[in-house]
Amino acid sequence: MPRRRRGQPVHGWVVLDKPSGLTSTQAVGRVRRLFDAEKAGHAGTLDPLATGVLPIALGEATKTVPYAMDAVKRYRFRVRWGEARDTDDAEGKVTETNAGRPDQAAILAALPRFIGAISQVPPAYSAIKVDGERAYDLAREDVQVSLAPRMVQIEEFVLVGQPSGDAADFEVRSGKGTYMRALARDLARALGTVGHVTALRRLAVGAFDESRAISLERLEELGHSPALLEHLLPVETALDDIPALALAEDEASRLRHGQPVSLLRRADRPRLDALLAAGDGPEVIACALAEGRPVAIVRLVEGALHPVRVLNL
């Protein structure tokens, strides 16, 4: 009996405005079913409490997920002062209280300490693996785990409002792997009190921002209609931050077969110089295109393009 095909070859990105109360995995599953796609993944987990931009990759777009995850992200969140919780957000149990309520001057004075490359200990309730198990699974079983600090990059950390003496709102631009819950926890400690996140929204992941986002409710209203495909962004959207290079069809064919393409001929010098100028060193990552369509993610090494991921579009 022939093996049943699982889904259709749908390729591209959906920028979902994730609702609160849904895990990222559940959101991906629902979008995948709506598009009847063979493969799906996402570019960075959002906590169930969180809302906002969750880029979901379908089909060949899953090969570009690492490049989206490396992009700068933007968040808005609210910190409730005076209560520490075991999850560092409103879903956890209170573990400590403190009467301290920082004023605007104290907050503004503390923020510069959290900008740039900083050391951060991830929350106990996180997806980090410890001896093969997720930290949040161990935490739910009351197993004490010690998570190692990691260096993260904070580009911007701004106080945007104080709705009451008990709370403050912030916006952050950060690099990969930064936990807003840990940032809120550590800021509160630096201010002589404790705190936790009560609301969290992701505003952007690289080129994917709120202007491109669509709600799950709206996607489900569209069902399996052709209008659904209007909300599918091209695979290469995730590659906006890396240089693009146009190839002839014979060059594209070599890459599709896993073979390198040399750019050492005199006629190729302009293309080679442009790639080197766009990169940070002798090895450059680029998106190779043929007739305007992405062919592969390539690495330029010693004047030759080597396929890193071939895109079967």
What's the CA dihedral at 119, 124, 129, 130 to 10 degrees? Answer: 100
- Quick check: 7 pLDDT over 80? no
Alpha-carbon span 26 to 97, nearest angstrom: 34
Residues 269 and 304 in one domain: yes
Domain count, the chain: 3
CATH number, domain of 298, equals 2.30.130.10
* Other Cβ atoms closer than 10 A to 290: 18
Alpha-carbon span 138 to 292, nearest angstrom: 48
Q: Is 47 a catalytic site residue? A: yes
CATH number, domain of 61, equals 3.30.2350.10
Residues 103 and 132 in one domain: yes
Nearest to 13 by CA among 43, 44, 45: 43
* pTM listed for this prediction: 0.89
Grade residue 1 by pLDDT with cuts at 50, 70 and 90.
very low
Q: Is residue 3 situated within a structural domain?
A: no
Residues 157 and 211 in one domain: no
CB 233 within 8 A of CB 213: no
Instruction: Dig out the tokens for 216 from the structure.
Output: 């799950």
Residues 164 and 269 in one domain: no
Percent of the chain with pLDDT over 90: 73
Chain-wide mean pLDDT for the chain? 90
pLDDT at 223: 83
- Quick check: 5 pLDDT over 80? no
What is the domain range of residue 35? 12-71+207-238
Instruction: Dig out the tokens for 301 from the structure.
Output: 């090494």
DSSP 2: P
Query: Span 226-241, mean pLDDT?
Result: 92
Instruction: Dig out the tokens for 26 from the structure.
Output: 């559940």
Residues 77 and 198 in one domain: yes
- Quick check: 262 pLDDT over 60? yes
**Among the ranges given (50-54, 68-72, 129-133, 168-172), the one the predictor scored with the smallest mean pLDDT:** 129-133
- Quick check: 158 pLDDT over 60? yes
- List the catalytic residue out of 47, 86, 88, 89: 47
Q: Is residue 149 situated within a structural domain?
A: yes
- Greater confidence (62 vs 274) lies with 62
Alpha-carbon span 197 to 195, nearest angstrom: 7
Grade residue 294 by pLDDT with cuts at 50, 70 and 90.
very high
Backbone angles phi, psi at 51, to 5 degrees: -120, 175
Residues 282 and 222 in one domain: no
The residue whose two tokens read 């896993």 is 258
Nearest to 125 by CA among 189, 167, 185, 60: 185
